[in-house]
Amino acid sequence: MAHIGIVLEAYSLILASAITFFLFAIGRFYQLKIGRETHYNWFLVPVILFLSSASLCVLDYEGIVLAGLGAVLLIILTIMLYNTMMGIEK
């Protein structure tokens, strides 16, 4: 029964990395079409952190620190992308 929790945790981290990759694609598209710098390359860092955390979870190690770091970085990058797309000045 404990294996179900590991599978669900790994699946949710993989899903989070897929959603983060879509944010990467949105930022790239916006930068190519509009020409404003979105720092879309940085969205790949949370993707890597989420996938690393998922692989550590499957290997029965604690990867919660990597997932937490990825989540904090994702929040910061998402706010920056939102501000750029909405034209909010610093």
Helix axes 64-86, 2-34, angle to 10 degrees: 30
pLDDT value of position 90: 65
Q: Which two tokens stand for residue 22?
A: 């879509």
pLDDT value of position 2: 60
pLDDT value of position 58: 85
The tens place of each residue's pLDDT in the chain, 90 residues long, gives 568 888 888 899 999 999 999 999 999 999 999 989 999 999 999 999 999 999 998 888 888 899 999 999 999 999 999 999 998 876
Residue 34 makes CB contacts below 8 A (sequence gap 6+) with none
Q: Which two tokens stand for residue 39?
A: 């720092």
3-class secondary-structure state, position 14: helix
The domain ranges of the chain are: 2-86
**Does the model's pTM come out above 0.85?**
yes
pLDDT value of position 1: 54
Ordered DSSP codes for 29-76? HHHHHH-----GGGGHHHHHHHHHHHHHHHTT---HHHHHHHHHHHHH
